[in-house]
Chains A and B, each alone.
Chain A
Amino acid sequence: EAGVVQSPRYKIIEKKQPVAFWCNPISGHNTLYWYLQNLGQGPELLIRYENEEAVDDSQLPKDRFSAERLKGVDSTLKIQPAELGDSAVYLCASSPHRGRYNEQFFGPGTRLTVL
């Protein structure tokens, strides 16, 4: 069974440029999460989707971050414009269960470097 797929794996951009990350969850998983992970820290939840509905986005900095999951399958996270402090690993996870604390399956992440 294929795991969670994320692309790109690495991205280097200059500050003020836009950037987008793509995630394809495990087939049949209706819940999808986006996390941000800084070096030496645990993942921090940005947004959670149940199918195509964003049910938990209180941690998403909405002035520059946006996300979509139009058909309830794959998802895109966008940053526009990127800032130096956005350099981090962006993780996507999916789950066959609803809710926050059920087992999640993580992708390998996208490492973003903002210069």
Chain B
Amino acid sequence: SQTIHQWPATLVQPVGSPLSLECTVEGTSNPNLYWYRQAAGRGLQLLFYSVGIGQISSEVPQNLSASRPQDRQFILSSKKLLLSDSGFYLCAWSRQGASQPQHFGDGTRLSIL
């Protein structure tokens, strides 16, 4: 069966510090990968998606970036965090195809001080 791992579960960072969140998927190959942010009481905002190694599409311009160095590894980064970057970050994977559901990790709660 497939599993998705996301870490860390919680993170407290000062403004201006760098960020690296990692997500890995097991049990499947060539998945679509996604990064979302969920603000308190808000819906899921798609940040990045990837259909293959090295292929990243950005949905929202911001100071975040994503990379996919391996087939089942997806990394969310920032060089300098802003207060507005606080939120709940979720990684997800799906098989190819519009009808495929997405499978989410348990998220990272990021607080910027």
Asked if chains A and B come from one complex, the reply is no
Q: Please report A residues at the B interface, Cβ cutoff 8 Å.
A: none
